[in-house]
Chain A
Amino acid sequence: MADDVTQPRIGVDEWVASVEGKRERYRGPVGWLRRGWDSSPPAARLLVFVVPAVIFPFVTSEGNLFRYGLITLLYALLGLGLNVTVGFAGLLDLGYIAFFGFGAYTYGYVASAHANHHWPAELAIPLAIAVAAAVGFIVGFPSRRLVGDYLAIVTLFFGQAFVVFVNNANRINFWPFNHTDLTGGANGLDNIDPLNVFGWKVNTTKEFYLFTLGAFLLVMIVLYFVSESRTGRAWKALREDPLAAEVMSMPVNRLKLMAFVFGAGIAGFAGAIYGSVQTGAFPGDYDIGLLITIYAIVILGGAGSLAGVIVGALIVNGVPELLRDSNQAEWLFYTALVILVLAKVRPWQKLVVVVGGTLGLGFALHAIADAWFPRWTAGQPNDGKLAHWVSHWMVLPSHATQLANWAYVLTIALILVLTLLHGWWRTIVFIPTIYVAAFAWENLLVENTAGATRFLLLGALLVVLMNVRPQGLFGTARVEIV
């Protein structure tokens, strides 16, 4: 009973106590950081990001600034927009990249030799935003009365329709287009002008970086203001419970549409910058791969968290960029493996077994293969010191394609089995899992890091995150009471 004297705190029942018990407890340095982060004011948090971001272009090379700086910022900007639609309002927008494309194409159309317009950016960018937002309105409008699922289908199809459209819009021979070449077809629009903002020609990577940084900060601050306003709260409320929100004076359909359009507008903004950075808009750039990348950013960072978008973009863009170089990829893979083992295998007895077992298994197999099946160690290791070391431990057959394919499938199977096991069984299965995974990595995955590997890791990341930590890195764990 609430009035019982043995319970000093008013309003605490068993359920509350259990929730408080379950709530994440932070200890050690991580907890200290976390509490510090949570208690610092928004402006201070922003500085933590801004200071290194401003220093970065002055300490790095042009190429790194483009790959790790500019592209990350563009992705982060895209992430901010998606965060409004998915994170704040909880709408699954799978056509998001099309709005990005609309931005790029709009900017390209009014600022390139294609139609011989050369608008300055202060006019072209607002136009790009307006076009993307207007298209968002048109797409969102018929889906506005429907549950999230229909929106997902319509937008997914819309994203595909966009690609078909821009690929062929140069030769539509019926009304209202009648052969007007809007998009340059499969060749896209090229020679798009650099941004010309009130006379400032944004041309070099460094200038683009600084401009995008400014744009990102602007959008971030604006979004922070919105999230703390009546509209932002209403978005959060309708994500929690649309019916209660509707009954509690919030026009849910209008708010959903607004969030959708808002996200589309931000994507259009990012698209305009991107078109100018690339000096072109090409149909192939706006595919599902980019969509998944942006989703991974938002989800990894924590849907609804603005700070999370930055960290998500850094990781999701940065890690695959590192993977492009096979030597770096080697280091990255084995470092990740070691961290995983150290973090997940406890107590130390098991750790010893896993490390010893894995090393032993590798050297034993290598020795056996060396002695009896020379073909199995005849493969060439990749460049780099680490790959050379690893080749003493890992068998590298020549013509390994077939075998490596099976090893890949086996890796997945073993990882899935691993999630079902507990105790010592898990420890024991861990050993062959690591070895087979490393085998698949050495013989198959490492060669495709620029393409398939990168994307399948993103796909796996989404699944794993949803299962293990759906709130991402920066989100707060959500509670649902059924």
Chain B
Amino acid sequence: MAAQRLLELHAVNKSFGGLACISELDLHVNEGEIVSVIGPNGAGKTTLFNLITGVYAPDDGEILLDGKSLVGLEPHEVTNRGVARTFQTLRLFLNMTVRENVMAVQYGKTKSTVFEAMLRLPRSRREERQIRKRAEEKLSFFGQRLVGYRWDQPAYSLSYANRRRLEIARAMATEPRILLLDEPAAGMNPAETHEITELIGQLRKEGGYTILVIEHDMHVVEGISDRVVALDHGVKIAEGSFDAVATDPRVIEAYLGLRKAETK
């Protein structure tokens, strides 16, 4: 393959109390690619994100970013290597302002110590200005949706859709190389869903991010994906273009449960 592989998973296993959540998973995301992960509930999609970001350690297997292993790193170290994510169940810092949310996550990008902050030494002041500028930059990406007057409001006062946008802005502010989006369109109305689809395209075009996205909404998946990976019970059952995966009998079976006659 000509393209540079940015994120690679080799034979990753993870089980909880004997129950395998992810088994022998191989996955890769190329530089500049948008890959969607689909699969029924409980297929291990969010576990996959937790493994990549270091929230869980894999039982065995290898996870590489740009050829360097991420296994064994603390989550904040993984983020500093250039992986940022959003959460399916929104986890904003609700009682901080919108701007503070985006400022706080630049912790890993800055260096000044608490002693420098105590005395407001030059480096600390310089970094403060940078943090603020970068935060405003990222928020401006969402244009009308997260405009200036909202920046000083607490995050809890945002609407659901705007909280999703803020989560993305927050992830962007860690300056990642790859963005992991966990169901960015969940709970959104059709107009907002449409907007999110466009936004993800923009993220790649203007932001230059490589994106791995978990999504249930097939319209979104169809609209954004270069490549789709389908999971079921922690096993990769199909991979390829949207059309190929969507028509793959194993995928249909996983969703509709024809053979096992169960819907979950």
Residue interface bits B93-127, CB-to-A below 8 A is 1, else 0: 11110001101111111101010011110001001
Given contacts A2-B159, A225-B119, contact A233 B104 (CB under 8 A): yes
Q: Does B157 make an interface contact (CB < 8 A)?
A: yes
Type the 1/0 row for B158-192, where 1 means its CB is closer than 8 Å to any CB of A.
11111000000011001000000000000001011
| Cross-interface CB contact of B100 among A16, A19, A236, A262, cutoff 8 Å | A236
| Binary interface encoding of chain A residues 10-39 relative to chain B, with 1 for a CB under 8 A from any of its CBs, else 0 | 111101100110000000000000000000
Mark out the residues of chain A between 352 and 397 whose CB falls within 8 Å of any chain B CB in the assembled complex.
none
Spot the interface stretch: B23-31, B79-87, B212-220: B79-87
Residues on B with beta carbons closer than 8 Å to the beta carbon of A225? 117-120
Give B122 Cβ to nearest chain A Cβ, in Å: 13
Distance in Å: Cβ of B246 to nearest Cβ of chain A? 28
* CA–CA, A131 and B75, complex, Å: 32
Residue A178 interfacial (CB < 8 Å):
no
Q: Are A248 and B104 in contact (CB under 8 A)?
A: yes
User: Which residues of chain B from 24 to 72 have a CB within 8 Å of any chain A CB?
Assistant: 53, 55
Check A229 against B79 for contact (C-beta < 8 Å).
Answer: no
A335 at the B interface (CB under 8 A):
no
Bitwise, A104-132 to B at CB < 8 A (1) or not (0) is 00000000000000000000000000000
Contact of A232 among B117, B145, B189 (CB under 8 A): B117
Are the CB atoms of A241 and B91 closer together than 8 Å?
Answer: yes
In contact, B170 and A229 (Cβ under 8 angstroms) = no
Interface flags for A220-254 (1: CB within 8 Å of B; 0: not) read 00100110111111101100110111111111100
Residue of B nearest to A477 (CB): B95
Any A CB within 8 A of the CB of B6: no
Contacts of B92 in A (CB 8 A): 240-241, 244
Asked, given contacts A225-B119, A225-B120, whether A481 binds B94 with beta carbons under 8 Å apart, the answer is yes
Q: Which of A11, A248, A252, A479 has the most CB of B within 10 A?
A: A248
In the bound complex, do residue A1 and residue B189 qualify as a contact, i.e. CB atoms below 8 Å apart? yes
Looking at the complex, which one of B87, B144, B154 makes contact with A244 (CB distance below 8 Å)?
A: B87
Task: Identify the closest chain B residue to A12 (Cβ).
Answer: B159
Q: Which of A13, A230, A476 makes the CB contact (< 8 A) with B131?
A: A230
- Given B95, B107, B128, which contacts A249 in the complex, CB threshold below 8 Å? B107
CB-defined contacts of A262 to chain B, threshold 8 Å: 114
Given contacts A11-B159, A226-B118, A236-B104, contact A250 B96 (CB under 8 A): no
A230 in complex: contacting residue of B75, B112, B159, B191, CB < 8 Å: B112
Chain B hits for A245, CB < 8 A = 93, 104
A250-B104 CB under 8 A given contacts A2-B159, A240-B95, A476-B95: yes
A251–B74 CB distance below 8 A: yes
Distance of A251 Cα from B75 Cα, bound (Å): 8
Do A229 and B124 have beta carbons less than 8 Å apart? yes
Contacting pair A19 B156 (CB below 8 A): yes
Most buried by B among A10, A12, A228, A247: A247
Residues of A within 8 A of B124 (CB): 229
Say whether A252 contacts B93, CB under 8 Å.
no
Specify the chain B residue showing the minimal Cβ separation from A244. B91
Contact present for A11 and B158 (CB under 8 Å)? yes
Query: Residue A10 contacts which of B53, B105, B144, B174 (CB distance < 8 angstroms)?
Result: B144
Q: A1-B191, A226-B118, A241-B91 are in contact. Are A247 and B108 (CB under 8 A)?
A: no
Q: Is A78 an interface residue (CB 8 A)?
A: no
Considering the chains assembled together, what is the distance between the CA atoms of A232 and B100 in angstroms?
Answer: 11
**Which residues does chain A contribute within 8 Å of B191, judged by CB atoms?**
1-3
A11 CA / B79 CA spacing, docked (Å) = 29
A258 at the interface (CB under 8 A from B): yes
Q: If A230-B106, A230-B112 touch, does A236 touch B93 (CB 8 Å cutoff)?
A: yes
From B84, B108, B192, A250 is in contact (CB under 8 Å) with B108
Q: Is there an interface contact between A247 and B75, defined as CB atoms closer than 8 Å?
A: yes
B76, B93, B171: which contacts A241 (Cβ < 8 A)?
A: B93
B105 cross-chain contacts in A, Cβ below 8 A: 237, 248-250
Which of these, B74, B101, B128, B131, contacts A246 with CB under 8 Å? B74
CA distance A226 to B55 in the complex (A): 28
Q: B114–A226 contact, CB under 8 A?
A: yes
A231 lies within 8 A of B55 (CB): no
Residue A478 lies at the interface, judged by CB distance under 8 Å to chain B: yes
- Least CB distance from A246 to B in Å reads 5
In angstroms, how far is the closest chain B Cβ from the Cβ of A266? 12
Are A247 and B128 in contact, CB atoms less than 8 angstroms apart? Answer: no
Given A229-B112, A244-B91, A248-B104, the answer on whether A2 and B170 have CB atoms closer than 8 Å is no
Q: How far is the CB of A117 from chain B (nearest CB, A)?
A: 28
Task: Give Cα A287–Cα B159 distance, bound, in whole angstroms.
Answer: 47
Q: Which listed residue (A2, A15, A19, A234) contacts B107, Cβ 8 A?
A: A234
B149 to chain A, nearest CB (A): 10
Of B79, B94, B103, B157, which is within 8 A of A233 by CB? B103
Residues in chain B near residue A244, CB distance under 8 A:
87, 91-93
Is the beta-carbon distance between A16 and B157 smaller than 8 angstroms?
A: yes
**6 sample A-B contacts, Cβ–Cβ < 8 Å, listed by A number:** A2-B192, A11-B161, A13-B159, A225-B119, A230-B128, A233-B104
Taking Cβ atoms with an 8 Å cutoff, the residues of A that contact B are: 1-3, 10-13, 15-16, 19-20, 222, 225-226, 228-234, 236-237, 240-241, 243-252, 258, 262, 476, 478-481
Would you list the 3 A-B pairs with minimal beta carbon distance, nearest first?
Answer: A249-B108, A229-B117, A244-B91
